[in-house]
Amino acid sequence: MELIKDKSFGGERPLFGIHDTRLENVTITEGESGIKCCQRLEADGCRFIGKYPWWHVDGSLISNCFFEVTSRSAIWYSTDMVMRDSVIDAPKFFREMRNLTLERVQLNDADETFWKVKGLTVKDVRLHGGTYPFMFCEDVTVDGLESDSMYVFQYVRNAVIRNSKIVTKDAFWETENVTVYDSVLEGEYLGWHSKNLRLVRCHIAGEQPLCYVDGLTLEDCTFDAACDRAFEDSVVEASIRGTITEIKNPKSGHIVADKVGAITIDEFIKEPANCVITERV
CATH number, domain containing residue 82: 2.160.20.10
Cα–Cα distance measured from residue 17 to residue 191, given in angstroms and rounded to the nearest whole number: 43
What total of structural domains would you count in the chain? 1
125 lies in some domain: no
183 lies in some domain: no
CB burial class (10 A; 0-12, 13-18, 19+) of residue 34?
buried
21 lies in some domain: yes
148 lies in some domain: no
User: Residue 77: which domain range?
Assistant: 1-90
56 lies in some domain: yes
Cα–Cα distance measured from residue 168 to residue 162, given in angstroms and rounded to the nearest whole number: 17
Cα–Cα distance measured from residue 231 to residue 262, given in angstroms and rounded to the nearest whole number: 13
Is pTM beyond 0.85 here? yes
38 lies in some domain: yes
> What does each of the 281 residues of the chain score in pLDDT, given as a tens digit?
899 999 999 999 999 999 999 999 999 999 999 999 999 999 999 999 999 999 999 999 999 999 999 998 999 999 999 999 999 999 999 999 999 999 999 999 999 999 999 999 999 999 999 999 999 999 999 999 999 999 999 999 999 999 999 999 899 999 999 999 999 999 999 999 999 999 999 999 999 999 999 999 999 999 999 999 999 999 999 999 999 999 999 999 999 999 999 999 999 999 999 999 999 97
25 lies in some domain: yes
59 lies in some domain: yes
